[in-house]
Chain A
Amino acid sequence: MVTASRDDNVKVLSRKDFVSDQEVRWCPGCGDYSILAQTQKLMPELGIPRENIVFISGIGCSSRLPYYVDTYGFHSIHGRAPTIASGLKASRPELSVWVVTGDGDALSIGGNHILHVLRRNVDLQIILHNNEIYGLTKGQYSPTSELGKRTKSSPYGTIDRPLHPLSVAIGAEATFVARSIDTDAHHLVSTLDRAYRHKGASFVEVYQNCNIFNDGAFADFAAKEVRADRTISLEHGKPMIFGKERDKGLRFSGAKFEVVTVGENGVTDADLFVHDETREDPSIAFTLSRMEWPEYPVPVGVLRAVQKPTYNDLMDKQIEMAIEAEGEGDLRDLFLEGDTWTVE
């Protein structure tokens, strides 16, 4: 299990150091493998000691991930990973805490907790594996399944409207909101890296193919052959350009985006909207979070990254300030608060 002595502080870890001795048991072909691989690839690059990394998950296929990463890990109960992670981070702020969750785990049973961990801005990373289905319980519809979807629990089609995870996150005042795709290894690892570097709660939705119960749910736009034309990779400070030929773009007119082709109808690069992830006002980020194929290219990358004080820092600060103002707590004084009297 242990591959290197830690005497040497600058010991360089490798991907192998983050592979646990547990056999990975997802269905062959599951998108979770790729997310795991990119996670294990990223870990040594972060330059933090392995013992300071903790993966915390709820319940679902994706939530098995902590077993496979050789760090500290906690596979908890359905939907509650954000709560456990909050308690850990708020009491041990020096740890790097990662929450692994599924769309059902995070948005159904754990919907309440996801909102609150985001609004509190606890400094941790949340990776939501979105396969738009319940995998572990064998194929019921999830809160992100499209309206009318036929599944084992909806033979006549669903009648509940889907949630958009990124819209939910932005609505909850998340300070970092991003999206990536399981099969786009390079994009995924760099998005996770950005999430790690963000101070505050980072929310990353990863489109993950469940090849058993919802195969090809994202193939329309995520498949390698069409990805360039049907997704748009957001880059801070750059005009919104996409397409294999890098000739299509997004223009903002009225209150919404519009897909245009550079060079047609007098459209030039200068007409394209420039992505600014640091915008305080969440409305543009929210608009981006609503864009769906086929009307729009599907945005991937960082929609929003703003700086706000983190919950754990504020908690530390309050404690420091109280100690500074009132002195370190002394039990004797505490016991004698209020009126006391002596019996001889």
Chain B
Amino acid sequence: MTTLTRESDQHEGPDVLELDRVTIRFAGDSGDGMQLAGTQFTKTSAVLGNDISTFPDIPAEIRAPQGSLPGVSGFQVSFSSHDIYTPGDAPDVLVAMNPAALNTNIGDLPRGGILVVNEDEFTETNLKKAAYGSNPLDDGSLGAYRVFQVPVSTLNARALKDSGLTAVQVDRCKNMFALGLMFWMYSRPLDTTTRWIDEKFGKNQGVAEANKKALRAGYNFGETTEMFATHYHVPKAKLRPGLYRNITGNEATALGVITASKLAGRTLFYGSYPITPASDILHELSRFKRFGVRTFQAEDEIAAVGAAIGASFGGSLGLTGTSGPGLALKSEAIGLAVMVELPLVVIDVQRAGPSTGMPTKTEQADLLQAMFGRNGESPVAIVAPSTPSDCFQMAIEAWRIAIKYRTPVLYLSDGYLGMGSEPWLVPDYTKLPKMDPDFAHDPATFKPYARDPETLARPWAIPGTPDLEHRIGGLEKSDITGNVNYDAANHDKMVHLRAEKIERIANDIPELEAHGDESGDLLVLGWGSTYGVITTAVQRARAKGLKVSSAHLHHLNPLPKNLGDVLKRYDRVLMPEINLGQMRMLVRSRYLVDIIGLNKVSGRPFTISEVEAKITELAA
């Protein structure tokens, strides 16, 4: 959706066209530094004041042969002069650093789209590796696009011929050349990236200079060559006033849990075992020793959650994080946490499954595992962030619930949220509400399984507290005393109490709000990372005059108290999910409303048009 308005003739040389939104996809071999180029483009655009949204698409095989189709790495960034909620359906510009990148990405480029290719890489061997029978640059197959063939490798090598670096080192700078060219094309300054290069390669002057030179060479190439008749300008977005930074979902999650630990005045303990796409949370938290964060890289996911439970027993905020297969391993221990009723937050950055599935691709298919993936009646609270920056808020919310209700809380992010980024309005820490761990102290009144009458939470009595010595464990507890008890009536009561405790959280979470009309033809109900596409698709449908509203679930268990009422106010309800209908099943079974599903399980998020098309079909 780009509108072209010609700016006044204030520039000489190529015309400058003003656009309100551009989506660029950088694609190349996994060794070509595309993630880096994309990230730098994002940073610069953020600093310029655009709204941004990104989607890295990383190959599953880290060491796929160079130039091969499975080795292609992509990074899509959308930047805009208005609020955006998604990294864009299709790129306006595709930068393809080799034939494989072209082959795997060209299908997404709309007719008329801009294609910038590194023609140097279109050799016979590379074409063969990319499964091309003939050279697409010559055979007319790219006729539908505005193709710019740039000898990136040669130009880059020429620019760096006096750098004193090896040929391999020189070639590694070509992503900076491509980035420089894009900076020129979209009228962005080089200084944010230049500063970053200095910081990153500061110790190695030669490499720093070469990268900066390549960046400038790419920029100057755009400026001087006659190839490009136009370049573009995307004005600042009108975002809410305040201080912003760019943030990925995983970063925001890490900041959220550290903030929670400050708000609760308790140490954060993070037990984790590396797994894509959750590892970045471990990387982030490991850096924050100065906040007293204790990170424990465990021998496996079971040890990770066990250690977190041990830390919570000791009065710290025991946190563990993983992705789908790791959540499967943690199940037994989460059941233990349910039984001992201690605070615990379990992060699941969902990826495509089942089993090892597609580690770098996204999915929302662990919901039922989060909900039911344990033995026995084993309810836990579940929350889900909706955007990369919302990860911050929901991480704090997860801890608020865990601490107040003494329960494990599952936090369902996904690869798309975790790796994607957007501007984050930096909050004022001093205005965030404090959390009281409310430890038990008084031996006169302490009973290990006595409950708060309102929340049904049991006391949190930590070792080191005199005269509160007690024993907990996974065997069924006696009401009040917490002693081991196999009595039938007691078990029945305890099962109900644990379930009721989770249900009561519904009294303590925001009601569901519908955006659009209070009632109407269609409600599009979502949860988690589909927020962006649903919001945009509904906005577009409404602009066309359809009576459509949207609502988004941030609390998945328990569900907001008014959900049933909201569902009844619309003729039809549509629920898009990146799974085969897991939340739809839960909501249908509970409210007996015949929700219509829109489901996609391709490892990729929905596009806006996919959701919009379904809305049109149902509401028009």
Contacts and interface: CB of A to CB of B under 8 A. Distances in A.
A336 B243 contact: yes
A114 to B, nearest CB: 10
B463 A88 contact: yes
Interface in B290-317: 290-292, 294, 296, 298-300, 302-316
Interface in A19-76: 20, 22, 49-54, 56, 59, 66-67, 70-76
A254 interface: no
Given A90-B269, A112-B299, A335-B429, A341 B467 contact: no
Interface in A61-120: 66-67, 70-77, 80, 82-92, 94-95, 112-113, 115-116
A2 interface: yes
Given A77-B474, A95-B463, A334-B255, A83 B469 contact: no
A87 B463 contact: no
A185 interface: no
Contacts of A159: none
Interface stretch (B169-177, B234-242, B378-386): B234-242
A178 to B, nearest CB: 24
B303 A86 contact: yes
Interface string A294-324: 0000000000000000000001001101110
B464 A95 contact: yes
B544 interface: no
B164 to A, nearest CB: 30
Interface in A100-147: 112-113, 115-116
A86 B469 contact: no
Contacts of B262: 331
Nearest to A71: B469
B426 interface: yes
Given A73-B470, A339-B43, A94 B259 contact: no
Interface in B462-490: 462-475, 483-484
B291 to A, nearest CB: 3
Contact of A1 (B43, B303, B305, B469): B469
Contacts, number: 214
Nearest to B472: A74
B307 A86 contact: yes
B288 A334 contact: yes
B202 interface: no
Contacts of B463: 51-54, 72, 88, 92, 95
Contacts of B258: 329, 331, 334
Interface string B270-292: 01000000000000000011111
A88 B314 contact: yes
A322 B289 contact: yes
Interface string B402-436: 00000000000000000000000011010000000
Contact of A91 (B244, B314, B336): B314
B321 to A, nearest CB: 14
B296 A87 contact: yes
Contacts of B575: none
B525 interface: no
B472 A335 contact: no
A51 B464 contact: yes
A127 B437 CA distance: 33
A315 to B, nearest CB: 6
Contact of A75 (B243, B244, B312, B474): B474
Interface string B302-342: 11111111111111101000000000000011011000100
B469 A70 contact: yes
Contacts of B67: none
B464 A92 contact: yes
Given A91-B311, A340-B243, A340-B245, A76 B306 contact: yes
Contacts of A70: 469
Nearest to A59: B474
A344 B244 CA distance: 11
Given A326-B290, A339-B192, A90 B307 contact: yes
A289 B333 CA distance: 33
Contacts of A338: 43, 245-246
B471 A74 contact: yes
Contact of A329 (B269, B291, B309): B291
B49 interface: yes
Nearest to A75: B473
A190 B234 CA distance: 77
B329 to A, nearest CB: 11
A94 B483 CA distance: 27
A326 B290 CA distance: 7
A116 B472 contact: no
A343 B463 CA distance: 48
B80 to A, nearest CB: 14
Contact of A84 (B49, B291, B307): B307
A343 B310 contact: no
Nearest to A25: B484
B47 interface: yes
B469 A343 contact: no
B153 interface: no
Interface string A188-208: 000000000000000000000
Nearest to B300: A112
A88 B313 CA distance: 7
Interface in B1-60: 43, 46-49
Contact of A87 (B49, B292, B309): B309
A22 B255 CA distance: 44
Contacts of A322: 289-290
A332 interface: yes
A336 B299 contact: no
A253 interface: no
A2 B470 CA distance: 11
A54 B468 CA distance: 12
B466 A340 contact: no
B241 A344 contact: yes
B292 A343 contact: no
Q: Which of B43, B240, B467 counts the most A-chain CB atoms under 10 A from its CB? A: B467
A342 interface: yes
Given A51-B467, A67-B484, A343 B315 contact: no
A281 interface: no
Contacts of B46: 339, 341
Contacts of A20: 471
A148 B240 CA distance: 75
Given A51-B469, A92-B314, A95-B314, A329 B288 contact: yes
A9 to B, nearest CB: 11
B443 interface: yes
Interface string A223-249: 000000000000000000000000000
Contacts of B255: 334-335
A329 B310 CA distance: 24
Given A87-B269, A331-B258, A339-B43, A315 B294 contact: yes
B81 to A, nearest CB: 12
A6 interface: yes
Contact of B426 (A95, A319, A336): A336
A329 B199 CA distance: 22
A328 interface: yes
26 contacts: A1-B469, A51-B467, A51-B469, A74-B313, A86-B303, A87-B271, A91-B267, A91-B269, A91-B311, A91-B316, A92-B314, A95-B314, A113-B303, A116-B303, A319-B289, A328-B291, A335-B426, A338-B245, A340-B245, A341-B244, A342-B241, A342-B242, A342-B243, A343-B239, A343-B241, A343-B244
Given A75-B474, A329-B288, 15 more contacts: A22-B484, A74-B471, A74-B472, A80-B303, A83-B271, A83-B310, A87-B306, A87-B309, A88-B310, A88-B463, A92-B463, A113-B299, A332-B429, A343-B240, A343-B242
9 nearest CB pairs, A to B: A83-B306, A87-B310, A75-B473, A87-B307, A329-B291, A322-B289, A73-B471, A84-B310, A88-B310
